[in-house]
Amino acid sequence: MPLPFPVTPMNPAYGYLLPRPYHYAVHEGFFSLERPVRVGEGLEQIADRLRFFGAMVSADAAAAIDLVAGAGLPPEGFTLEVTPDRIVLKAGDAAGRLYGAHALEQLLWIAFRWGANAAQLECGVVQDRPRYRWRGLMLDSARHFQDRETILATLRLMGKLRLNRFHWHLTDAQSWRIPAKGAPELNGHGDWQDGAYTPEDFVAIRAEAARQCIEILPEIDMPGHNVFLLGLHPELRCNPEVHGWEICLANPASMEFMKARLLEALELLPECKVVHIGDDECGTSHWDKCPKCQAKIRELGLKDSRALEEWFVNEICNFLLAHGRTPMVWGTHINPPKQTILQCWGNECDMVTCAAHDDNPVVSSIDHAYYLDYPQDDEDPHSDPMTPVTDMDTYCSTVGAHMVEYLGDRLLGAEAPLWTELVPQWRVRVKFLDRAIALSEATWSQQCHKHYRNFLQRKRGLELAGYTW
Ligand SMILES: [Zn+2]
């Protein structure tokens, strides 16, 4: 099978890097891989890969591949300098080291598989840095449960793709997957409850996230999406006799219950900086009919039930802020504290509405580009109003380029959610893979470097060389 485009001086191995780097230049000469090479500390991944290709790794070789600390590099950035006798990876932080090593590994795959006449890498320099600081995937573990191994594999995939936020949707109308020490009945079996995570799962998952330079943000969805919780705790409903989705906002026990669950989440994930509290898709009819909620509205001098929801959410946001965490909510109809991150979903118009909140930082999750539960093509199982979201849709999305001028630094980046009503565990990787690779370049690479056909050629070239994600 021929390469989509051959490796030549005009098309060097650097031309295959994915995501496409900020800048690269090719210089005279080659670094030969057909001689013993010394590999410096911190690059065991590279030493292993060289041995895999049958190259000689030797501690006293003259030719060397080294990792050095680079001052003044942008966060998560790295440089890679290839001269005839030395390759130097410079990084200022752990993410730069990880991403630089993955980039060098891609170059090795190309050099060994497609090197023009020998296993060699063109001399040159790669300077790389991310376009957006928020490059996320969301996994819904509430509708379908995924075991520890699937979560770990997802994190490893994310590390390779330089995706650095794992938004973990842990509770919903069907189940409560996060360990609830003070309410263990929540981790029992429910309608869809076929498993819950243990504190030991959290230890393993945190450790892998740290290795892959990923921040985990847990989501405990409130005040809506709580059918499962309210089935076990009807006293938190506005009317214990009436089934519903929203908790009673005025019952002090509701607030206490949620704060206790949030504190448990912080205990399980002590390094977590951002906590998502949902606040999506709430109706007001239960609150409108509830004597407690209506009395609270009068007591606080509020306009209506929606304003009471805003009061409740702000209390929870301020509670998280007091614990040194940043709250995050789904794009909202209320005004949360200005530090709260708004995750905008729906279409561009919804994003404009969402972003109209003064000062709040924004993450784009526009559905026709980033909703990975949508089918990848017409063959992919889906429910009806869903139209395909292809890897091209994800790739060509501009994240919010049309809004950059308006939002400026408030636009943190993008995140692709995978809702799992129709996605059992075995389909998670299939649903993520192609569109997560597209998301990687869409959020990492500069807009002016994006070219969908070229992206596909590089992806194909790496895969033909044997590289796997
Ligand atoms: Zn109520």
Q: What is the pLDDT of residues 75-87, one digit of tens each?
A: 999 999 999 999 9
Ligand 1 centroid vs 23 CA: distance in angstroms? Answer: 57
150 vs 3: CA distance, rounded Å: 32
Q: What is the pLDDT of residue 190?
A: 57
- Which residue from 68, 81, 64 is spatially nearest to 128, judged by alpha carbons? 81
| Gap between the Cα atoms of 441 and 19, Å rounded | 5
- Residue 288 pLDDT greater than 90, yes or no: yes
Distance 311 CA to ligand 1 centre (A): 13
What single-letter amino acid sits at 41? E
**H helices then E strands: how many in the chain?**
15, 16
Distance in angstroms (rounded) separating the CA atoms of residues 407 and 359: 9
pLDDT the model gives residue 346: 85
Cα(341) to centroid(ligand 1), Å: 27
Average predicted confidence (pLDDT) for the chain: 93
Q: What is the mean pLDDT of residues 327-346?
A: 92
Dihedral angle computed from the Cα positions of residues 225, 150, 428 and 396, in that order, rounded to the nearest 10 degrees: 100
CA distances to 179, 274, 299 from 267, in Å? 11, 14, 34
Q: Model confidence over 129-164: pLDDT tens digits?
A: 999 999 999 999 999 999 999 999 999 999 999 999
To which H or E segment does residue 59 belong? none
Could you tell me if 136 and 163 are in contact, meaning their C-beta atoms sit under 8 angstroms apart? Answer: yes
Question: Which two tokens mark 319?
Answer: 């509670």
Structure tokens at 234: 């009807």
Q: Distance, CA 295 to ligand 1 centroid (Å)?
A: 9
pLDDT at residue 199, rounded to an integer:
96
Distance 174 CA to ligand 1 centre (A): 21
Identify the band that residue 408 occupies on the pLDDT scale cut at 50, 70 and 90: confident
CA 303 to ligand 1 centroid distance, Å: 15
Report the separation in Å between the CA atom of 93 and the middle of ligand 1, taken as the mean of its atom positions: 49
Ligand 1 center from residue 416 Cα (angstroms): 34
Closest listed residue to residue 433, CA positions, set 391, 371, 466:
391
C-alpha to C-alpha distance for 248 and 289, rounded to whole angstroms: 11
**Both structure tokens of 113:** 């598989």
How many Å apart are CA 147 and CA 90, to the nearest integer?
36
Residue 380: per-residue pLDDT: 85
Q: Rounded to an integer, what distance in angstroms lies between the CA atom of residue 14 and that of residue 42?
A: 22
What mean pLDDT is predicted for residues 233-241? Answer: 97
Which of 135, 267, 276 is CA-nearest to residue 217?
276
* For residue 220, pLDDT beyond 80: yes
Nearest Cα to Cα of residue 47 among 13, 94, 87, 95:
87
Residue found by looking up tokens 């006799």 in the block: 241
Q: How far is the CA of 229 from the centre of ligand 1 (A)?
A: 15
Q: From the CA of 232, how far away is ligand 1's center (Å)?
A: 17
286 token code pair: 């239960």
Residue 90 has a CB neighbour count (10 Å cut-off) of 21
Instruction: Give CA separation, 445 vs 7, 29, 133, 141, 154, in Å.
Output: 22, 27, 11, 29, 21
- Distance from the alpha carbon of residue 82 to the mean position of ligand 1, in angstroms: 65
Residue 177 alpha carbon to ligand 1 centre in Å: 25
Task: Report residue 2's pLDDT band, with 50, 70 and 90 as the boundaries.
Answer: low
Q: Ligand 1 centre from 381 Cα, in Å?
A: 39
Highest average pLDDT, of 326-335, 341-350, 404-413, comes from 326-335
Predicted pLDDT of residue 400? 58
> 236 C-alpha vs ligand 1 centroid, how far in Å?
8
C-alpha 20/C-alpha 127 separation (Å) is 11
CA separation for the pair 250, 298 (Å, rounded): 11
* Helix/strand/coil (H/E/C) assignment for every residue in 285-348: HHHHHCHHHHHHHHHHCCCCHHHHHHHHHHHHHHHHHHCCCEEEEECCCCCCCCCCEEEECCCH
Residue 6's pLDDT band, with cuts at 50, 70 and 90, is low
Ligand 1 geometric centre to CA of 227 (Å): 15
The pLDDT, as a whole number, for residue 430 is 95
- Separation of CA 237 and ligand 1 centre (Å): 7
> Nearest to residue 278, comparing CAs of 137, 173, 154, 177?
173
- CATH 3.30.379.10 segments of the chain: 13-130+456-465
Could you tell me what percent of the chain has a pLDDT over 90? 83
Distance 291 CA to ligand 1 centre (A): 7
Give the side-chain half-sphere CA count within 13 A for 179.
13
Residue 1 has pLDDT above 50, yes or no: no
Average pLDDT over residues 330-349: 88
Q: Which amino acid is at 207?
A: A
More confident residue, 118 or 25: 25
At residue 191, the pLDDT reads 54
Calculate how far, in angstroms, residue 240's C-alpha sits from the geometric centre of ligand 1: 10
Q: pLDDT grade, residue 383 (50/70/90)? A: confident
Find the 272 Cα to ligand 1 centroid distance in Å. Answer: 31
SS3 241: coil
Residue 280 C-alpha to ligand 1 middle, in angstroms? Answer: 17
Pinpoint the residues of the chain covered by CATH 3.20.20.80.
134-444
**13-130+456-465 sits in which CATH class?**
alpha beta
Taking CA atoms, 114 is separated from 14, 311, 465, in Å, by: 12, 61, 7
| Domain 134-444: CATH superfamily, name plus number | Glycosidases (3.20.20.80)
Rounded to whole angstroms, the Cα distance separating 108 from 332 reads 46
Inter-residue contact 273 to 215 (CB < 8 Å)? yes
The answer to whether 209 and 216 have CB atoms below 8 angstroms apart is yes
**Res. 407 pLDDT band, cuts 50 70 90:** confident
Q: What is the mean pLDDT of residues 181-206?
A: 86
Residues near 93 by Cβ (< 8 Å), separated by ≥ 6?
A: 75, 76
- 277 pLDDT more than 50: yes
Residue 350 pLDDT class (50, 70, 90 cuts): confident
CA 333–ligand 1 middle distance (angstroms): 20
pLDDT at residue 349, as a whole number:
74
Angle between helices 428-444 and 452-465 (to 10 degrees): 120
Is pLDDT at 34 greater than 70 in this prediction? yes
247 C-alpha to ligand 1 centroid (Å): 7
* 297 Cα–ligand 1 center, Å: 10
pLDDT of residue 118: 80
As to burial, measured by CB atoms within 10 angstroms (0-12 exposed, 13-18 middle, 19+ buried), residue 17 is buried
Q: How far is the CA of 239 from the centre of ligand 1 (A)?
A: 7
Cα(319) to centroid(ligand 1), Å: 21
How many whole angstroms from 338 Cα to the centroid of ligand 1? 27
Q: How far is the CA of 238 from the centre of ligand 1 (A)?
A: 4
Burial letters for 434-457: b for 16+ Cβ neighbours within 10 Å, e otherwise? bbbbbbbbbbbbeeebbeeeebeb
- For ligand 1, the distance from its centroid to the CA atom of residue 249, given in whole angstroms, is 5
The type of residue at 59 is A
Q: How far apart are CA 343 and CA 330, in angstroms?
A: 5
Mean pLDDT of 381-399: 84
Flag whether pLDDT at 4 surpasses 60.
no
Centroid of ligand 1 to alpha carbon of 39 (angstroms): 64
Q: How far apart are CA 385 and CA 454, in angstroms?
A: 32
Output the CA 285–ligand 1 centroid distance in Å: 10
Whether the CB-CB separation of 323 and 343 falls below 8 Å is answered with no
Q: Could you list which residues have their CB under 5 Å from ion ligand 1?
A: 238, 248, 250, 290, 292-293
pLDDT digit string (tens) for 295-335? 999 999 999 999 999 999 999 999 999 999 999 999 878 89
pLDDT at 99 over 80: yes
Task: Reduce the DSSP state of residue 78 to 3 states and report it.
Answer: strand
